[in-house]
Structure 1
Amino acid sequence: MWKPDRQSNKPLYEQIADYLEQRISYGEFPPGSLLPSERKLAEQLGVNRSTIIQAFAELRSFGIIESRTGSGTRVSRTKWGATPKHTPNWKRYAEGGSFLPNPPFMRKIREALTDQPSRIDFASGELAADLAPMDEIASLMSAHHYTSYLGYDNPQGYVPLRETLVSYLKRYRSIQTSESSILITSGSQQSLYLITQCLLSPGDAVAIEDPSYCYSLPMFQSAGLRLFRLPVDQHGIRPDDIRTLYKKHRIKMVFLNPNYQNPTGTVLADERREQLLEVASELALPIVEDDPFSLTAYEGNPPAPLKSLDTVGSVLYIGSFSKVAASGLRIGWMVAPRSIVERLADARQQMDFGLSIIPQQVAAQFLKSSHFEPHLERLRIQLQFKRDLLIDTLRKELHDSVIYDIPHGGLHLWCKLLPDVNDGKLLDEAIRRGVVFVPGSVYGSDSSFVRFTFARAKNDEIEPGISRFAEALRSLTSINS
């Protein structure tokens, strides 16, 4: 006898409604047939009668069943007849499928910003318009003749862009590669999606940092992967933890963001990098290195990527144009063994037949241009100014209520709140006051952490934004006290 799953996030009445609808559609309860009584069905399924009443109400709302006083509840005759026409149950379709929606907090943040764009944004992980090289790119686009060919391009990506990236990666990231080992993607998230969908199988165990941006991405759960955490301290993850997870769970891949990690801003210590690569080589374990923030190093001396130290080919390297130039161009890249690049290029071609060629041409021109290095220098200065402005305001508004480590690159400040507050209530209160942030629980931490992204807010918004956040925090702590 089927029973509802009490551990599921789906309400019991919805599970029961789905179960009954399925039995009806299979013909086990033909049109016009009498369903068991509410009381009997409640006894059979081990639930309260009120739960069955809710399930029946759900089915009645879709015209699947009919109830009449004194006659019981029957399967609708017209719903399942040959002539009546009915709209598909789009709500059920929207809630179905294997690809999960974004976490509720992320959807709430997006809705808050869409509903009222004037809210101060400490949540969006992208550059503000005044940090992007808008004028430089506009100048390049007017000065260069871009191809008139608008058909499908090479599934690995525009060849001149891949050739440009070979030089870029050698010069700025000390990575030796060839254009045949580079795949152009629609940002770093598409790289992660392709890896989870094509190189791993449902049930595989993978390791991610704790806290981690990866924890906020439903693509891992949608792929049916089992996630195991690697705690991050002030020096990054501990390589021995990987060996422990491998012994216990036979993890098949490790996902890391070692430079200015999202959300903590930490940099993996040099000695741990060497140990990490030794462990990966010993276990023949692939490492996926996501490296979007390195070139934002405020002092102009970016930490080396793991890939530059990789002598045995353990590292799949992911980079992106989004955090150093323009997220709207949607240009990312992956450096991987040629067999992996060909496999993922084939999969991506099935998805979209390749990226638009024009953004790839723009990116190639910008990376080669005399504009690129001055833009990076200006970006670093502006990001450091925003970081310092954020920290100064936090000290003034919440000096005894928040602790943090000062990042030396990246876009984020990771903070621990000393008052014990519910992060959902805090987000609601902050939204009401006109400011948004990301609760730490989105990244797998407890509710005492928050992430402020300082790259999106304008300079003159940072102080009032933190002031509003502080008001929201004080309003909740005063209620609790």
Structure 2
Amino acid sequence: MEWSVNRESDKPIYQQIFEYIEEKIAYGEFPPGSRLPSERKMAEQLNVNRMTIVHVYDELQASGLVERKKGSGTRVSTHKWGILPKGVTNWRKYIEGGSFLPTYPLIKRIRDEAKVMKDGYNMAGGELSTDLFPASFLQASFNQHAFPSNLGYVHPQGHLEFRETLASYVKEYHDINVTSSSILITSGAQQALYLITQCLLNPGDAVAIEAPSYSYSLPLFQSAGLRIFALPVDAEGINPDDIVTLYRKHQIRMIFLNPTFQSPTGGVMTEPRRERVLEIAAELGIPIVEDDPVSLLSFDGKTHYPLKSIDKSGNVLYVGSLSKVIASSLRVGWIMGPESVINRLADARQQIDFGLSIFPQLIANQFIQSPEYPKHLAFLKQELLERRNEMVLALNEYLGDKVEFSVPKGGLFCWCKIKQKVDDQKLVEEAIKNKILFMPGSVYGSPNGYVRFTYARLQREAIKEAVLKFAKVLDKV
């Protein structure tokens, strides 16, 4: 095949292939009724992953350009090209419309591969491995309590008893003072961020996020029409003076921070900088959204209290969840802030789904109050420490002269800078061919040549082999 994808283009590979086939059909080079190569054959011809072709063929079918039948392959539609048969919707126009943007292509590529990859090494996902879930504790906790008699809608802010438990929980573990009326239960931290961007900001507003940052990987900011400006992160977190600079230039209206075991760098903002950030935010009247998913996972015994614990002005919206300390599929998160803000977000949340299911709230409520929860936290921190140590050993052994990294003191990730010049797209594709998944730094706002490895996602004995395989991939690109 003479045509080939342009891997230097900003246009996603799947879209390039779609437009190529669309053009061939329009020019009559793929006439009505003609059979297209199989997904595997087309992937081989274009030197791309088969799942990319599956995506392209799905889009062509949704557009009415091809017909697919099991056992018969994929054929160009027999009706006149460009005119859909009566009753068939051109879904492509709808898919490409709307205000809510799709996941960034490179992230979607990695996630799609994670769904189908077998016998590989997933160092991309920001979640715990299954052996770290407290499944038996959760089962026992749930069995010991009666099934709820009231299965109607719960309070818009969430189950009252659970909110009261959370108020005690954050006081004990984070030294945060809050009452149940200032808590909104959400479906994980991501929904919390969505509600904040949709309800408290307007299109065109300027916001500041860390660079690099997990927030950078979320199209929800652009979907809300927000203008994003970077706060560079160094070994001590963001520089508070950068907030002042951005405010003067762009009148930023909100700051998004992840100060403890930051994703993707794993860094911790120093106490002096935390205090200064709060001072500046209070002086300028700018709210801070503090995302705090893993601060309990400290390896050196040091407690890193959130910004919210020393916030005297009520400027911090505190976002947390149990995804990283219990299980991601539990889908329990929260926002803590001024009661008026919580009421506004709860109203929007009720319009969306009438509230989170009562069952994960009951399970979480029972578990975090049980004597098993501190035991689970201690077990989890020890296991993660051992896996971090295993990854550090492997990085030094197999990539010692090829990467630079700081040993994380907590959390789930190891952030590495590759010394040689690499193209993230090519590195990801080559790794996928070798059944290795990781997150490239470019999806978090870094230049090419940074990678985030999750040591929590793999079994301890698999970490060394995963890093070795990555080292071999790096030698090829």
TM range (shorter): 0.7 to 0.9
Alignment of 1:179-258 (within 5 A): 179-258=180-259
User: Match of 1:396, SS?
Assistant: helix
Amino acid across the alignment from 2:400: H
* Aligned residues of 2:64 and 2:88 also touching (Cα < 8 A): no
Cα drift, residue 296 of structure 1? 0.4
Amino acid across the alignment from 2:460: N
Deviations 1:98-147 (A, max 9, x none): 11111111111112112223221100001111111111101111111130
- Residue 155 of structure 1 aligns with which residue? 156
Task: Say if 2:93 is the partner of 1:92.
Answer: yes
Alignment of 1:92-111 (within 5 A): 92-111=93-112
User: Match of 1:232, SS?
Assistant: strand
* Aligned residues of 1:146 and 1:361 also touching (Cα < 8 A): no
User: Match of 2:345, SS?
Assistant: helix
Cα drift, residue 353 of structure 1? 0.6
- Residue 392 of structure 2 aligns with which residue? 391
Within 2, Cα distance between the matches of 1:272 and 1:8? 37
Deviations 1:263-286 (A, max 9, x none): 001100111011111100100010
Deviations 1:10-41 (A, max 9, x none): 99998xx9xxxxxxxxxxxxxxxxxxxxxxxx
Task: Say if 2:129 is the partner of 1:128.
Answer: yes
* Aligned residues of 1:300 and 1:377 also touching (Cα < 8 A): no
- Residue 372 of structure 1 aligns with which residue? 373
Deviations 1:330-388 (A, max 9, x none): 00011111111111001011111101001100000011000011111111110010001
Within 2, Cα distance between the matches of 1:382 and 1:201? 43
Deviations 1:234-278 (A, max 9, x none): 000000000000000000000000000000011001110111111
Structure 2 stretches lacking a partner, 5+ long: 1-8, 23-59, 66-79
- Residue 291 of structure 1 aligns with which residue? 292
- Residue 276 of structure 1 aligns with which residue? 277
- Residue 73 of structure 2 aligns with which residue? none
Cα drift, residue 392 of structure 1? 0.3
Within 2, Cα distance between the matches of 1:118 and 1:214? 30
User: Match of 1:241, SS?
Assistant: helix
- Residue 71 of structure 2 aligns with which residue? none
Alignment of 1:345-364 (within 5 A): 345-364=346-365
Within 1, Cα distance between the matches of 2:375 and 2:260? 22
Cα RMSD between the aligned structures? 2.2
* Aligned residues of 1:191 and 1:333 also touching (Cα < 8 A): yes
- Which shows bigger deviation, 189-198 or 428-437? 428-437
* Aligned residues of 2:281 and 2:288 also touching (Cα < 8 A): yes
- % identical equivalent positions: 51
- Residue 264 of structure 2 aligns with which residue? 263
User: Match of 1:240, SS?
Assistant: helix
* Aligned residues of 2:206 and 2:227 also touching (Cα < 8 A): yes
User: Match of 1:296, SS?
Assistant: coil
Within 2, Cα distance between the matches of 1:406 and 1:429? 26
Within 2, Cα distance between the matches of 1:358 and 1:8? 44
- Residue 48 of structure 1 aligns with which residue? none
**1:103–1:79 distance in 2 versus 1, CA, 3 Å:** closer
Amino acid across the alignment from 1:167: S
In the alignment of these two chains, the number of paired residues is: 411
Within 2, Cα distance between the matches of 1:274 and 1:356? 37
Cα drift, residue 86 of structure 1? 3.5
- Residue 142 of structure 2 aligns with which residue? 141
Within 2, Cα distance between the matches of 1:135 and 1:301? 29
**1:79–1:455 distance in 2 versus 1, CA, 3 Å:** closer
Amino acid across the alignment from 1:301: K
TM-score, with structure 1 as normaliser: 0.82
Task: Say if 2:301 is the partner of 1:323.
Answer: no
Within 1, Cα distance between the matches of 2:114 and 2:171? 39
Within 2, Cα distance between the matches of 1:395 and 1:79? 59
Deviations 1:213-239 (A, max 9, x none): 000001001111000000000000000
**1:148–1:118 distance in 2 versus 1, CA, 3 Å:** farther
User: Match of 2:236, SS?
Assistant: coil
Deviations 1:72-120 (A, max 9, x none): xxxx9x969xxx7241101221121111111111111112112223221
Within 1, Cα distance between the matches of 2:360 and 2:119? 29
User: Match of 1:325, SS?
Assistant: coil
Within 2, Cα distance between the matches of 1:171 and 1:300? 16
Task: Say if 2:405 is the partner of 1:404.
Answer: yes
Within 2, Cα distance between the matches of 1:300 and 1:374? 15
- Residue 456 of structure 2 aligns with which residue? 455
- Which shows bigger deviation, 203-212 or 320-329? 320-329
Within 1, Cα distance between the matches of 2:112 and 2:356? 28
* Aligned residues of 2:207 and 2:226 also touching (Cα < 8 A): yes
Cα drift, residue 148 of structure 1? 3.1
Which of structures 1 and 2 has the bigger CA Rg?
A: 1
* Aligned residues of 1:401 and 1:418 also touching (Cα < 8 A): yes
- Residue 432 of structure 1 aligns with which residue? 433
Cα drift, residue 300 of structure 1? 2.9
User: Match of 1:163, SS?
Assistant: helix
**1:326–1:297 distance in 2 versus 1, CA, 3 Å:** same
Within 1, Cα distance between the matches of 2:306 and 2:394? 33
Within 1, Cα distance between the matches of 2:400 and 2:83? 64
Within 1, Cα distance between the matches of 2:116 and 2:145? 39
Within 2, Cα distance between the matches of 1:302 and 1:99? 38
Within 2, Cα distance between the matches of 1:452 and 1:134? 25
**1:95–1:113 distance in 2 versus 1, CA, 3 Å:** same
User: Match of 1:350, SS?
Assistant: helix
Deviations 1:163-194 (A, max 9, x none): 00011011100000100000000000000000
